[in-house]
């Protein structure tokens, strides 16, 4: 169990005298890169996992993404064939948010748009049971903003996974001003004991911990590249071989998606007003041009 060191009215995590209600049925709203990864993690743990998407085309895309990921894990000897079969058997898909009615936990993983997320939270709040936890995978939007439009802001949390979710061990567990200690403990235990993740507890501030430190660094790399005095390769090699980073900042931007970097930077700048959080002009232009990184085939590098 992790230790809560935040303020915002948060109390230290404590062992409860009675067992916390287990989470066995999980819903994931959104089957894109993050949603499919989170669903795969839950299915690998043998949980009854439901992925909800907007239409059948999106459902088929999410299913194929998860199947390919599981196949790749088996081919690399990271997952046994029997575990793959267990995961596939634990997955279900739907285009109806009403099917979340029996879930103990639903994780929203749609695009980083406040209006889209508010719409999903209103719908989840209407259909899910009164004790079900509503979680968001947002990387920057305040949790209290999403919780306040529901009837259960005390059991709304941030549950921020990192890409790729089946590989990256960290989850930021974010508590709003209204989230109860019991909700945090229940979610913490689920993430650690059931999913095998490493949890850090965060205050409800834009960017939480990782993105508040990471995004300004990425933006500085973009500014340096835009000055035209250093190549993308040299910037990346400098951080890889000089600082021991597994990949350089511009490669990481392409992996995350330049549109996502821009959206997070906008939220950070809006909250803190620091110029180091402001999206550079080059980033704006690349997003406008559709050069989003790996997912579009072109960013700071080109991809097949």
Q: What ranges do the domains of the chain cover?
A: 25-203, 210-288
Write down the catalytic residue from 69, 211, 262, 291.
211
Q: 25-203 domain in CATH 3.90.45.10?
A: no
Tokens of 221: 């790399």
Kindly give the confidence (pLDDT) of every residue in the chain, 304 residues in length, as a single tens digit, with 9 standing for 90 and above.
Answer: 444 444 444 444 444 344 578 899 999 999 999 999 999 999 999 999 999 999 999 999 999 999 999 999 999 999 999 999 999 999 999 999 999 999 999 999 998 888 999 999 999 999 999 999 999 999 878 999 999 999 999 999 999 999 899 999 999 999 999 999 999 999 999 999 999 999 999 999 989 999 999 999 999 999 999 999 999 999 999 999 999 999 999 999 999 999 999 989 998 999 999 999 999 999 999 999 999 999 999 999 999 8
Find, among 204, 205, 295, the residue nearest to 255 by Cα: 295
139 given a catalytic annotation: yes
Count of CB atoms situated within 10 Å of the CB of 159: 25
Give the pLDDT confidence score for residue 19 in this predicted structure. 58
Q: What is the CA radius of gyration of the chain?
A: 19
Q: 210-288: what fold?
A: 1.10.1040
CB distance 131 to 103 below 8 Å: no
* Per-residue pLDDT, 107: 98
Q: What are phi and psi of 159, to 5 degrees?
A: -135, 80
What local confidence, expressed as pLDDT, does residue 112 receive?
Answer: 84
The residue annotated as part of the active site, out of 69, 172, 262, 277, is: 172
Known active-site residue 211:
yes
Comparing 25-203 with 210-288, is the CATH topology the same? no
36, 108, 112, 160: the active-site residue: 160
14-19, long-range: CB < 8 A, 24+ apart: 14/181, 14/185, 16/182, 16/185
Q: Which of 191, 126, 189 is nearest to 165 (CA)?
A: 191
pLDDT at res. 113:
87
Q: Rounded to two decimals, what is the model's pTM?
A: 0.86
Residue 235 has a pLDDT of 98
- The pLDDT of residue 17: 43
Catalytic pick among 36, 69, 137, 139? 139
């Amino acid at each position: 169990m992790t230790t809560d060191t935040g303020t915002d009215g948060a109390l230290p995590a404590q062992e409860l005298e009675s067992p916390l209600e287990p989470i066995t049925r999980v819903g994931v709203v959104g089957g894109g890169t993050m949603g499919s990864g989170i669903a795969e993690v839950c299915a690998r743990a043998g949980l009854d996992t439901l992925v909800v998407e907007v239409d059948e085309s999106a459902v088929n895309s999410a299913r194929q993404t998860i199947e390919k990921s599981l196949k790749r894990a088996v081919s690399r000897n990271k997952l046994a064939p029997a575990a793959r079969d267990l995961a596939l058997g634990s997955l279900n898909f739907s285009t109806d948010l009403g099917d979340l009615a029996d879930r103990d936990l639903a994780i929203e993983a749609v695009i980083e748009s406040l209006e889209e997320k508010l719409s999903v939270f209103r719908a989840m709040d209407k259909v899910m049971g009164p004790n079900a936890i509503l979680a968001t995978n947002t990387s920057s939007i305040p949790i209290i903003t999403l919780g306040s439009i529901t009837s259960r802001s005390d059991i709304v949390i941030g549950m921020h996974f990192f890409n790729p979710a089946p590989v990256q061990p960290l989850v930021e567990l974010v508590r709003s001003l209204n989230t109860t200690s019991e909700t945090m403990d229940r979610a913490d235990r689920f993430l650690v004991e059931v999913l095998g993740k490493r949890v850090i507890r965060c205050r409800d501030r834009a960017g939480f911990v990782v993105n508040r430190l990471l995004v300004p660094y990425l933006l500085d790399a973009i500014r340096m590249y835009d000055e035209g005095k250093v190549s993308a390769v040299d910037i990346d090699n400098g951080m890889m071989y000089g600082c021991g980073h597994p990949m350089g900042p511009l490669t990481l931007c392409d992996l995350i998606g330049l549109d996502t970097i821009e959206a997070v930077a906008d939220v950070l700048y809006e909250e803190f007003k620091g110029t180091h959080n402001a999206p550079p002009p080059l980033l704006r232009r690349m997003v406008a041009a559709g050069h989003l990184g790996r997912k579009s085939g072109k960013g700071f590098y080109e991809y097949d």
